Structure 1
Amino acid sequence: MITTATLEDVIALEKLINSAYRGETSKLGWTTEANLLQGERITIDELSEIINNKENTILKFTDNNQIIGCVLLVNKGNKLYLGMLTVSPELQNSGIGKKLLQQAEEYALKLSLPKIVMTVISIREELIAWYNRHGFIDTGDREPFPLNGTDAILTQEPLEFIFLEKKVY
């Protein structure tokens, strides 16, 4: 079931997101950043701030009262920003990400936003290909990868964000 996350979900969301992106558990799935970055992907405080901002919505995918997927949606006025699409590493490739993406598109339509935009680390070729298969195209825009105080880059390749976009109507 996909519903809107609340402050009561921040602890479970923090564990899910960090387990899917960083550390040893993330290596069970194909969306890991563990070979690129070290440090927490997100903190409980950051998640609380996100949820408290009325422009943001985190959708959570719950099964048996456990959050196994989520996605951040940000109303940017003329577009919907999509971020932190997360699926529990051991459940990746089971269609949960696709369902969250479809729900994001429905959300954009509900808000009358014509497109969804997102950023992906440029060297995440398999992830970019997945988004391409789901209708997202590279806009050509780039921006430097932002590092927070706890991140450490583990690769010699330069990291930057590429912008992907999908028109929803």
Structure 2
Amino acid sequence: MITKAQLEDVTALNKLVNSAYRGESSKKGWTSEADLLGGIRTNEEGINELINKPDTTILKYTENNEVLGCMMLEKQGNSLYLGMLTVSPDLQGKGIGKEFLAAAEVFATENQIEKIVMTVISIRAELIAWYERHGYVKTGETKPFPMNDPNFGIPKQPLEFIVLDKIV
């Protein structure tokens, strides 16, 4: 079930996001960034800030009161930025990510937003292809990866983001 995350979910969200993107546990899933980045993906303080940030919503996926997925949505003018889409490595490939993408479209429609935007590390070809299969298109725009911000992780090679979007 997908619902809005609350402050009491911060610890579980932090554990989930870091387990899916970094370290050995992330390598069970196909969204791991462990070979590209060292360090952590996020921390409790950062998630707490996102939950309290105006125009930002974190949705969570739960089963049996356990947080197994999440996604951040931030209203940015006429678009909705989708970030931190996370599914537990043990459950990837079971359709939860698709449910989150559908939930983002519903959220956008309910908020009269016509475009969803995201950034993806440019060398993540399999992830970019997955988003493209779900209607997202490359805009041709790139953005620099924060190279000296430990809140994003420590790059093991030069990285950049590409921007994808979808009209809803």
CA contact (8 A) 2:138 2:165 kept: yes
Match of 1:109 in 2: 109
**Does residue 152 of the first structure (1) align with residue 143 of the second (2)?**
no
Q: Provide the C-alpha distance between the structure 2 equivalents of 1:100 and 1:137, rounded to a whole number of angstroms.
A: 18
CA contact (8 A) 2:138 2:164 kept: yes
How far 1:77 moved relative to its partner? 2.0
How far 1:162 moved relative to its partner? 0.2
Q: Provide the C-alpha distance between the structure 2 equivalents of 1:73 and 1:93, rounded to a whole number of angstroms.
A: 22
Question: Where do residues 49-88 of structure 1 align in structure 2 (5 Å cutoff)?
Answer: 49-88=49-88
Match of 1:141 in 2: 141
- Which deviations, in whole Å up to 9, do the C-alpha atoms of 1:53-96 show, x marking residues without a partner? 12100000000100000100001120000000000001000000
Q: Provide the C-alpha distance between the structure 1 equivalents of 2:22 and 2:68, rounded to a whole number of angstroms.
A: 16
Q: Secondary structure at the match of 1:106?
A: helix
Q: Provide the C-alpha distance between the structure 2 equivalents of 1:67 and 1:53, rounded to a whole number of angstroms.
A: 21
Question: Which amino acid in structure 1 is aligned with residue 39 of structure 2?
Answer: G
CA contact (8 A) 2:16 2:67 kept: yes
Aligned Cα root-mean-square deviation (Å): 0.9
Question: Which amino acid in structure 2 is aligned with residue 82 of structure 1?
Answer: L
Q: Provide the C-alpha distance between the structure 2 equivalents of 1:107 and 1:149, rounded to a whole number of angstroms.
A: 31
CA contact (8 A) 2:79 2:113 kept: yes
**Does residue 36 of the first structure (1) align with residue 39 of the second (2)?**
no
Q: Provide the C-alpha distance between the structure 2 equivalents of 1:54 and 1:68, rounded to a whole number of angstroms.
A: 24
Q: Provide the C-alpha distance between the structure 2 equivalents of 1:123 and 1:42, rounded to a whole number of angstroms.
A: 21
CA contact (8 A) 2:108 2:115 kept: yes
Percentage of pairs with the same residue: 58
**Structure 1: runs of 5+ lacking an equivalent:** none
- Bigger shift: residues 142-151 or 92-101: 142-151
**Structure 2: runs of 5+ lacking an equivalent:** none
Q: Secondary structure at the match of 1:40?
A: coil
TM-score by length of 2: 0.97
Q: Secondary structure at the match of 2:18?
A: helix
Q: Provide the C-alpha distance between the structure 1 equivalents of 2:88 and 2:27, rounded to a whole number of angstroms.
A: 11
How far 1:149 moved relative to its partner? 3.0
How far 1:123 moved relative to its partner? 0.2
TM-score by length of 1: 0.96
Match of 2:124 in 1: 124
> Number of residues paired by the alignment?
166
